[in-house]
Structure 1
Amino acid sequence: MQVRQLGEQVINQIAAGEVIERPASVIKELVENAVDAGATQIDIVTAAGGKTLMRVADDGAGMRQADLKLAIRRHCTSKISDDDLFDIRTLGFRGEALPSIGSVARLVIQTRHSEEDHAWAIAVEGGKEQPIAPAARSKGTQVEVRDLFFATPARLKFLKSDRAEAAAITEIVKRIALAYPEIGFSLSGADRQPQNWPAARGDEPHLARIAQILGQEFTDNAMEIDAGREGVRLTGFAGLPTHHRGNAQHQFFFVNGRPVKDKLLLSGLRGAYADVLARDRHPVVVLFIDLDPALVDVNVHPAKSDVRFRDSQLVRGLLVGAIKHALVQAGHRSSTSNAAVALDAIRAQAAGGERPFAAAGPSYGSGGAAPQPAGGYSSVATAERWAPDVFRPLEQALPPAHGFAEAPAAEIQTGLSGLVTPSADARAHDVPVEAEKTDLPLGAARAQVHETYIISQTQDGVVIVDQHAAHERLVYERLKEALAKKDVARQILLIPEIVDLPEEDAARLAERAEDLEKVGLSLEAFGPGAIAVRETPAILGDMDIQGMVRTLADELAEWETAESLREKLDHVAATMACHGSVRAGRRMRPEEMDALLRDMEATPLSGQCNHGRPTWVELKLSDIEKLFGRK
């Protein structure tokens, strides 16, 4: 077969396949051009998910007549010169978008430069250019794209439904709008509900734009990020671990104002939240990375969605360190939306309702004496837990006693382990009134409900604490601290615990015995299909060794991933903490409940357990009064 040169139109259509994948790709390119033109208002109109119509109008600088002729030619751009490829400061730079769109659709451009007497228009249909002509437009540029892929009908078969394509366009516009709060955006059309994001003003425009797009709920439950290292600056907002989602669609990264979906950044984000979120939950973040353009290559992907950093470990380390620091600074803070969920559950009587946190991850603290939600814990009290017979009046003030927060961790666990499980008739535990403790963030303990939840009183409301989830986090943080110091105290079992397992699980545990030794767990093979546990971490006290070992065997099957040894050991510590924490169904003494609250206030990350579920929720007095019609 003879080799021959392809025609210009075919070349353009092939090249368009790399740049224009779907209607959202067109919108991305056109909106980025409008941003580069200095627009202060960008209006987008679509129809049929962008398949039949996309129109982007801006009030930017516009183009001169001569520039308009060149704009539809491949590799013609005003944004870079021969020496600027490694110092790119604009969103667009290749000069491929307009010719690519014109080769597969019907394209009409109207534009007016401030130095021109009137506007000019040019049309391109399937790669065929029409003569330039005068037009009526006061300022800026309007680009109209109709019948996308009419020139390459095979591409139409790969597009999704109108609704899915419209949603993809909305997502693209949201990402660009988040990066440029000083620009107003509107999105309308026959295929959608109109959306309008006015230009944000004031001292914190990014925060205002985030509230416009993600809602006030996110800004109320976000931690501010502001860190820098060696010329790289990271700013933005990261959600509390208890404010998570079931997918990663609410994770927004920007590099020098460019929206990106970079594997390095996603990996760093997972690492930062590793010990506060279950693996199937995802944090909500809006983060901006600013650095010298020479230190990042944005020309590594046709859609410019991936970037390559010159020092990738510096960027990842900054991201992980900044978020972990913010998590520590957040202390015992928990998502405010949890209280709203609780109030809604009470109002709806929680009859057969969905449990918001039931699927967040495994929990091993359920005791036989206490009724538990299927699938895991929820810190949201359902209406059945608030029945009138649950509470009884405080009969007497018990003498104050020292709490376990002042004692060594091992003593704490030993004391908790010795508590007697109450009968099913014991519904609440009275606690003495100590007015001065209501000044503290988590208040003073007043009662224990269903031997699972601690009720405490603050100055302006009530706090409900999940005792297992809270103690799990406290134990985990102590284990991590001891692991970092390589000083995990152990307790020798008088009689080794023999755990029967499938042979492959037992072999897997025996192979990892040296690693497990680092977290205070000493075990060895005990014949085929069995493991003998001889030592456990002292902080865990009398724990469920059988359940812990079986869970560890399942988790070790996933250790072939690229995680570091420290990350793996942290996962082991989290599993051990869950099995070794005070269980639901155990009655706690008044001083122990108060001590648990004080320990939570002093411990970083105590607002959520190791799986990302909240350890406590607060109901404000004003909200409670509304429930009873007092306000």
Structure 2
Amino acid sequence: MSKIHQLSPRLANQIAAGEVVERPASVVKEILENSLDADARRLDIDIEEGGIKLIRVRDNGHGIDQEDLTLALSRHATSKILVLDDLEAVATLGFRGEALASIASVSRLTLSSQTEAQEHAWQVTTFGRDMETEVSPCSHPTGTTVEVRDLFFNTPARRKFLKTEKTEFTHIQEIIKRIALSRYDVTINLRHNGRQIYALKACSNAVEQERRMAMLCTPEFVDQSITIEAEASGLRLWGWVGLPTFNRSQADLQYFFVNGRSVRDRVVAHAVKQAYRDVLFHGRHPAYALYLELAPENVDVNVHPTKHEVRFRESRLVHDFLFSRLHRALADVSPETINTTKNPIKVDLETGAITEQQPMSLAPATREFSAPVINAGHPERMTQKQYSQPLQGNRVNDQIAAYKALHPGTTQTDEVKTEEIPPMGFAIAQLHGIYILAQNTHGLILVDMHAAHERITYERMKQAFDNNRLTAQPVLVPIQLHISQKEATAAEEFSDLLSDFGFEVSRTGEETIAVRQIPVVLQNADPEALIRDFLSELADHGNSDAIIAARNEILATMACHGSVRANRQLTIAEMNALLRDMEITERSGQCNHGRPTWVQLSMNELDKLFLRGQ
């Protein structure tokens, strides 16, 4: 008797169902993708008991002919591919022809459909026993309804692995959210146990798309994101990218679509992570909803049973395209662009705590600002009358002249009018030697001067290093340092690399070195602490390749030492110079560790603090 035998169709389908139908959300995903492939423009979804009792999806697509109804429930039956060439350029969401057969094998399924060419609608029913089907006439408009009842009724072991009704419905809701974000042209209605959850109308313009995005991903995400659109080498990228200050404790607001298909891909994840690495606080995650479009033949969608993953035929091209466009978009975020549309972070008016972000309300440029702050310790101390005056054109020009005198050749600024006040405004005071208080068109700006200067120094050092222009200067007297033997060995081994970073260091003993040259940009830093931290970085990375790879980390450490320290008193001209530098420096909204460098309080928010107008 033969030991090898053919599996029954029922068992084969149930095995296949184990790959395709993981939970109710998997069923919803497969059915909705079939509806979209049928050119549906309206989807009505009814769920009961988290999808375990009932999943019903009705669409207004082109429907299924009567003679194809039974075949539609057969395994490996599809209208989407015929030959191998079709598989290599799949433009539909589904293509394997396994979903309905797998679902039917573990549920009680009814498929009702009508095409425009048919006089009557027909339905096919199967109960998951021996996959026998019954076809009968029914009443149904053009389109298709798939009704799935009692999921896993005939596979109790699978049913035991399902979670609570709430958990299962949460997974379904996430699937529908992804579908809704991928197809703005489709109306989607979702009900659970008779209660309306989503009523999303089809979008006909960008404003309606943004409204849907806000509804599904929170208004804060839309307010605290920038739009991106780029095209090159047959690739097109568009969507929303969250500002670095709008970050999450987990990766729960990250959506990426390839030709309308929601995917998780390592190439994409790495490119996004690299783009945010210079501006995101450790352990935090960015938020984004991005759409990549490319020729179907350049992406393989047949690499995973649930089609969650794809394989790009030119993954390096895709990676570099995503990284470069996102990196540039984040670098181009400036105080001016943020002030025009958004407020970088929200200050809780009750507690003063910095929390989530909110849109910024605009205020007239000439609104009086008369908070009683004191510019203690500054030669240009301003009187109450001076700083309570609205910003007028002549005062603006006086401050610009002072800035030009302090930094000749760094700015080209002509006479300005009041409405041309720079985005970061002009300094009016320094608070506790830590924060700069500035007045701009919209209200009050608070700047963490060390964090802001650290970013400015860091960006300048990166540019100088890339252009081999990290200039250095000799110290008057060589600095003798006593360090560990490991660090002294690192100083000797990487002397050439140290020179690239602007240092000249020589070993003078087992545990001593002499520092003879340091970068110009670090001339005001504590050289002993700087060198110790630098050598510690070198010793940790171990070899020159690792050091070059960690170049930004090392430059960030150097920048931290070269930035203005807390409790250092700045003049008004110095504070304004820092504000102008922030306006022209990439990524100036965050320090090197991802923390915000400034916050904006609008006049409306200030009025609320003092109950003005109430």
Aligned to 1:124: 126
Q: What does 1:598-613 correspond to in 2, within 5 Å? A: 598-613=580-595
Structure-2 change in CA distance of 1:118 and 1:530 (3 Å): farther
2:173 is the counterpart of 1:164: no
1:308 corresponding residue in structure 2? 311
Output the amino acid matched with 1:602: I
Cα drift, residue 309 of structure 1:
1.3
Give the conservation status (yes or no) of the 8 Å contact 1:103–1:125: yes
Larger radius of gyration: 2
Residue number among 471, 475, 483 corresponding to 2:465 in the alignment: 483
The worse-fitting range, judged by mean Cα deviation, of 24-33 and 214-223 is: 214-223
Q: For residues 573-606 of structure 1, what are the alpha-carbon distances to aligned partners after superposition, in whole Å with 9 as ceiling and x for unaligned?
A: 1222123211222221111001101111122221
> Within 5 Å, which residues of 2 pair with 1:421-460?
439-460=421-442
- Equivalent residue runs for 1:403-552 within 5 Å: 406=407, 439-493=421-475, 494-496=477-479, 498=481, 500=483, 514-521=496-503, 535-544=517-526
Q: What CA distance in whole angstroms lies between the structure 2 residues aligned with 1:556 and 1:149?
A: 59
What is the identity, as a one-letter code, of the residue corresponding to 1:446?
Answer: I
Secondary structure of the residue aligned to 1:131 is strand
User: Post-superposition shift, 1:325?
Assistant: 2.3
In 2, Cα distance between the equivalents of 1:206 and 1:555?
A: 47
CA distance in structure 2 between the partners assigned to 1:390 and 1:237 by the alignment: 42
> For residue 395 of structure 1, what is the amino acid of its counterpart?
T
Residues 395/389 of structure 1: CA separation in 2 closer, same or farther (3 Å cut)? closer
Secondary structure, aligned partner of 1:158: coil
Conserved in 2, the CA contact under 8 Å of 1:252 and 1:287?
yes
| 1:166–1:191 contact (8 Å) kept in structure 2 | no
Match of 1:109 in 2: 111
**Aligned residue for 1:154?**
157
Deviation at 1:243, TM superposition (A): 2.0
Aligned to 1:591: 573
Match of 1:370 in 2: none
Pick closer, same or farther for the CA change 1:445–1:355 going to 2, 3 Å. same
What residue is the counterpart of 1:231 in the other structure? 234
Change (3 A) 1:339 1:269: closer
Specify the alignment match of 1:317 in structure 2: 320
- Deviation, structure 1 residue 265: 0.7
CA distance in structure 1 between the aligned counterparts of 2:330 and 2:405, rounded to whole angstroms:
25
Which shows bigger deviation, 78-87 or 48-57?
Answer: 48-57
Give me the whole-angstrom Cα distance separating, in 2, the residues matched to 1:452 and 1:565: 33
TM-score by length of 1: 0.81
What is the total number of aligned residue pairs between the two structures?
Answer: 573
Give distance in 1, aligned partners of 2:311 and 2:5: 36
Q: Which residue of 279, 283, 290 maps to 2:293? A: 290
Per the alignment, in what secondary structure is the counterpart of residue 186 of structure 1?
strand
C-alpha distance 102-600 of structure 1, shift in aligned 2 (>3 A): same
One-letter identity of the residue aligned with 1:190: N
Cα 1:214/1:507, change in 2 over 3 Å: farther
1:271 match: 274
- What is the deviation of 1:187? 2.2
**CA–CA separation in structure 2 for the residues paired with 1:125 and 1:579:** 72
Going from structure 1 to structure 2, the CA distance change for 1:197 and 1:406 (only over 3 Å counts) comes to same
Amino acid at match of 2:448: D
Partner of 1:46: 47
Residue 388 to residue 593, structure 1, CA distance change in 2 (3 Å)? closer
Q: Distance in 2 between matches of 1:555 and 1:163?
A: 49
1:186 aligns with 2:189: yes
CA contact 1:253–1:287 (8 Å) conserved in 2: yes
The offset of 1:223, in angstroms, is: 2.3
Cα–Cα, structure 1 residues 525 and 164, in superposed 2: closer, same or farther, change >3 Å?
A: farther
Shift of 1:524: 6.7
Give the conservation status (yes or no) of the 8 Å contact 2:23–2:162.
yes
Deviation at 1:544, TM superposition (A): 4.8
Q: Secondary structure at the match of 1:596?
A: helix
The separation in 1 between residues aligned to 2:275 and 2:430, in whole angstroms, is 34
- For the residues of structure 2 that align with 1:627 and 1:480, how far apart are their CA atoms? 41
Instruction: Give yes or no for contact 1:48–1:191 (8 Å, CA) kept in 2.
Output: no
Evaluate the alpha carbon distance shift between residue 607 and residue 624 of structure 1 in structure 2; reply closer, same or farther with a 3 A threshold: same
Query: Offset of 1:157 from its aligned partner?
Result: 3.8
Report the TM-score when normalising by structure 2. 0.83
Q: Please report how far the alpha carbon of residue 526 of structure 1 lies from its aligned counterpart in structure 2 after TM superposition.
A: 7.7
Q: Which moved more, 1:294-303 or 1:526-535?
A: 526-535
| Conserved? CA contact 2:425–2:441, under 8 Å | yes
Structure 1 residue aligned with 2:31:
30
Per-residue deviation, 1:62:
1.5
Query: Any conservation in 2 of the 1:39–1:61 contact (CA below 8 Å)?
Result: yes
> One-letter code of the match for 2:383?
E
CA distance, structure 1, for counterparts of residue 425 and residue 38 of structure 2: 55
Cα deviations by residue, 1:343-401 (Å, 9 ceiling, x for unpaired): x2xx3234xx67679xxxxxxxxxxxxxxxxxxxxxxxxxxxx9978789942879974
The structure 1 residue matched to 2:86, chosen from 67, 84, 87, is: 84
Residue of structure 2 equivalent to 1:7 = 8
C-alpha deviation, 1:628, in angstroms: 2.4
Q: Contact 2:70 / 2:133 at 8 angstroms: preserved in 1?
A: no
Q: 1:550 to 1:304 in 2, by over 3 A?
A: farther
The residue matched to 2:137 in structure 1 has which SS?
A: strand
SS of residue matched to 1:132: strand
Name stretches of at least 5 consecutive residues in structure 1 with no aligned partner.
358-385, 410-433
- Alignment identity in percent? 42
Report the equivalent of 1:341: 346
Instruction: Please report how far the alpha carbon of residue 519 of structure 1 lies from its aligned counterpart in structure 2 after TM superposition.
Output: 2.8
Give 3-state SS (helix, strand or coil) of 1:247's partner: coil
Unaligned runs of 5+ in 2: 358-369, 388-397, 411-415
Tell me what 1:425 maps to: none
| 1:454 and 1:467 in contact (8 A); partners too | yes
- The question of 1:66 aligning with 2:67 is answered yes
Residue 209 of structure 1: aligned partner: 212
Query: Which residue number in structure 2 is paired with residue 377 of structure 1?
Result: none
**In structure 1, which of residues 99, 102, 125 is the aligned counterpart of residue 101 of structure 2?**
99
The answer (yes or no) to whether the contact 1:334–1:616 under 8 Å persists in 2 is no
Inter-CA distance 505–338: structure 2 relative to 1 (3 Å threshold): farther
Instruction: Specify whether residues 281 and 13 from structure 1 end up closer, same or farther in structure 2 by C-alpha distance, changes over 3 A only.
Output: same
Question: Which has the higher mean CA deviation after the structures are superposed, 588-597 or 14-23?
Answer: 14-23
Q: Name the aligned partner's letter for residue 180 of structure 1.
A: R
Aligned 1:375-394 pairs, distance under 5 A? 394=382
In structure 2, the residue matched to 1:199 is 202
Match of 1:431 in 2: none
Task: Give the AA of the match of 2:98.
Answer: E
1:35 CA displacement: 0.9
Please say if residues 14 and 102 of structure 2, whose CA atoms lie closer than 8 Å, have aligned partners that are also in contact: yes
DSSP-derived class of the 1:84 partner: helix
| CA distance in structure 1 between the aligned counterparts of 2:423 and 2:559, rounded to whole angstroms | 25
How big is the shift at 1:622? 2.6
* Maintained 8 Å contact 1:437/1:444: no
CA distance in structure 2 between the aligned counterparts of 1:446 and 1:126, rounded to whole angstroms: 76
Q: Separation in 2 of the partners of 1:142 and 1:526?
A: 83
- 1:302 Cα deviation after fit: 1.1
Kept in 2: contact 1:404–1:595 (CA 8 A): no
SS of 1:571's equivalent in the other structure is helix
Q: Secondary structure at the match of 1:160?
A: coil
Distance change (3 Å), C-alpha of 1:339 and 1:230: closer
Q: Tell me if 1:174 matches 2:156.
A: no
Which residue of 136, 147, 160 maps to 1:133?
A: 136
Matched-pair contact (CA < 8 Å) for 2:374–2:429: no
Q: Find the aligned partners of 1:125 and 1:20 in 2 and give their Cα distance.
A: 16
2:345 and 2:356 in contact (8 A); partners too: no
Q: Alpha-carbon deviation of 1:213?
A: 1.9
Structure 1 pair 233–435 and aligned structure 2 pair: CA distance change class (3 A): closer
Cα offset for 1:160? 3.4
